[in-house]
Structure 1
Amino acid sequence: MIFKNTLIYKSIAVCLLTAMLFACEGNLKDVKEMEKDFLEPQSKVYDLNLFYTDSGAVRVNLRSPEMLDYSNRKFPFREFPQGIELDFFEQDSSKNTVFSDYAIQYLETGLIDLRKNVKIVTSDSTILKGPQLYWDQQQEWLFTDYSYSLQLPNGARNQGEGFDSDQKFNTFNSRSNTGIQYLQD
């Protein structure tokens, strides 16, 4: 009798376990499908030409072949997989330009990660090149741990590993560098 009751309880347990496993399979497919939608960008923009104005004056012009907007994520960001061209216009109408083959803008932190063939050309013809550069929009600060090359308008050149600087290059701190500098007496 005890053997018969044990057998019945085991059979019921096996049936319940089997039913639970097959019931979860359908739900798992639904969950994976919902996750797939969440991994996709919220929106895609092609041939972007965006202007930011302040008091009627153009301050920034952003151009990119493609922008993927992931604002639906816990840590929202915008991705520019085909690169960006970014023009900044100063009060005196001078222009600084940023080029990059790939970029990510993190919306919560204001940090922009520029990658692959990064080039900055300032209005005074200073040219900065490197493989990766971070730009903190809130602090107006640029930095990298990668190699870079800098050419100043007076012909001076600088190459090094890692730097940080204000976005106008008035304060430029290089971790290691070599180059040719021209000094006035």
Structure 2
Amino acid sequence: MGEHSKHIIKLMVTACAVTMFFSCKSNFEDVKKIGVSENEPIGVAEHINLKYTDSGRVTANLLSPKMLDYSNREFAFNEFPNGITLYLFDEQDQKSTVLADYAIVYDKTGLIDMQGNVVLASATKDTLYADQLFYDQKKEWLFTNQKVTFKTGRDRINGTGFDSDVKFKQAQVLEIDGIITLDE
């Protein structure tokens, strides 16, 4: 074999190797997804006890019999199909309690969407009844645009929409349909 032939073979082998090297791509993400449908949770947990803190202070404690983890989605969330109990704590550690039949916690926004027979009992003995209630963990704010009944003191307020801080110092029904004042 001549020197020229050896040089051509080396060039061909090098060209093939370089072509193969650059044509391969990382399939690691695809391999991780094998066997996991994006419509299915990536994990299931039971007897959940999640604590949310801010500067070392517990601001909320979420309890649930079951959690479905959908962190494999582009907009990650955790679903609580069997309901939740959510304890909210203000700066003086006064506790309000929220019960709901179903909830979703959205990781990116910090919102908790509670649905179905939502009952909120505040530390000040006020009570809110709603079909849906949101809790913004970052702002420590509760709100809904659904129908509500809010018991505060001797008043029972029916209406649509509700806004409140976790201390219930700024609690208000947004569109009042009626107020019933109960006798003592």
Structure 1 length as normaliser, TM-score? 0.70
Residue 30 of structure 2 corresponds to none
* Structure 2 Cα separation of the partners of residues 113 and 175 of structure 1: 21
- 1:169 match: secondary structure: coil
Identity %: 44
Q: Report the alpha carbon displacement of residue 75 of structure 1 after superposing the two structures with TM.
A: 0.5
1:100 counterpart letter in structure 2: A
| Kept after mapping to 1: 8 A contact 2:126/2:150 | yes
| Kept after mapping to 1: 8 A contact 2:157/2:176 | no
1:111 aligns with 2:111: yes
Residue 21 of structure 1 corresponds to none
Residue 130 of structure 1 corresponds to 130
Q: Report the alpha carbon displacement of residue 57 of structure 1 after superposing the two structures with TM.
A: 5.9
* Structure 2 Cα separation of the partners of residues 90 and 42 of structure 1: 33
Structure 2 alignment gaps of length 5 or more: 1-32
RMSD: 2.6
Structure 1 alignment gaps of length 5 or more: 1-32
* Structure 2 Cα separation of the partners of residues 161 and 87 of structure 1: 24
Greater helix fraction, Structure 1 or Structure 2? 1
Structure 2 length as normaliser, TM-score? 0.71
* Structure 2 Cα separation of the partners of residues 132 and 104 of structure 1: 11
Q: Report the alpha carbon displacement of residue 165 of structure 1 after superposing the two structures with TM.
A: 2.8
2:163 counterpart letter in structure 1: D
Q: Report the alpha carbon displacement of residue 88 of structure 1 after superposing the two structures with TM.
A: 2.2
* Structure 2 Cα separation of the partners of residues 66 and 112 of structure 1: 15
**Shift in alpha-carbon separation, 1:58–1:166, aligned structure 2, 3 A:** closer
* Structure 2 Cα separation of the partners of residues 114 and 82 of structure 1: 11
Query: Which one is further off, 58-67 or 103-112?
Result: 58-67
**Shift in alpha-carbon separation, 1:167–1:54, aligned structure 2, 3 A:** closer
Q: Report the alpha carbon displacement of residue 140 of structure 1 after superposing the two structures with TM.
A: 2.5
**Shift in alpha-carbon separation, 1:113–1:55, aligned structure 2, 3 A:** closer
| Kept after mapping to 1: 8 A contact 2:119/2:129 | yes
